Homo-oligomer: A and B are copies of this chain.
């Protein structure tokens, strides 16, 4: 088989973010769990939208954000995700291609509209996400392009893919193709509530099917049902080749079978909106990994990319991560 010509192919829910400011009282009044991602149906999306403040619309989706970060670092990537044939779907496809990420998934012609996530950012920079999955519910195995998966060093999957009914099969198909081609498979656990929903499946996946795992503290402790980060770290060790565990301002831990590398966070002048922090950490890490960097440098690239995105509204980089990484001497 030919050498991989792509660094990463990301598969995820293709979602347009609608980002608005909100105060804690609004979050409480709407009965939302601050910091979490909650799935909502069309009626609830309409009702919540009517109540929330003015928004800015930006392409998002966890794996989509990660691919945007990889492109910003100068990496070669592709994305698989389902939008509808509507204005927001056009925006989503444009934004992917405009940053140089290959995106060929056929849009849904009849059915629900392009997915959106109503993201409420509180003054403490936390984001509370309310996602209407829309067209994402139609992503299925037929959308997995075998040749594309085979061409990528890493196939990156978001845990959120377990929510829509047919995406899990797409996920499994992609992972099988990748491994059959000798490529790596990476997973992010996405969200602690997502872990609660699919704990057993995620545990089974990680043992034997995932090479590189991303999780933050609340996700990894939810996965192994322990309140202690150190315990969760000990349990995950060796279950996959690499587990990159993030702890916000306390930095990250890169765990392999026989070592734990600690990586400091990059401090930011002003924390504005934490949306995308985890997604961008994965961008930096996977860019480093697919470019032959050691694990500490991978982690530092992750910290750098995450720091850029939390300094402004929105989950995709505004500045060139390639320039920032060069300035920091990381590439």
Contacts and interface: CB of A to CB of B under 8 A. Distances in A.
Interface string A48-63: 0110111111110000
B50 A54 contact: no
Interface in A84-115: 86-88, 91, 94-96, 98-99, 113
A57 B54 contact: no
B98 A53 contact: yes
A303 to B, nearest CB: 23
A222 B45 CA distance: 48
A68 B56 CA distance: 14
Stoichiometry, as copies per complex, reads 2
Given A86-B87, A87-B87, A88-B87, A68 B95 contact: no
A316 interface: yes
A124 to B, nearest CB: 16
A24 interface: no
Nearest to A95: B54
Given A49-B94, A53-B99, A57-B57, 6 more contacts: A54-B95, A54-B98, A55-B94, A55-B98, A56-B58, A57-B91
Interface of A: 18, 20-21, 49-50, 52-59, 68, 86-88, 91, 94-96, 98-99, 113, 312-314, 316, 318
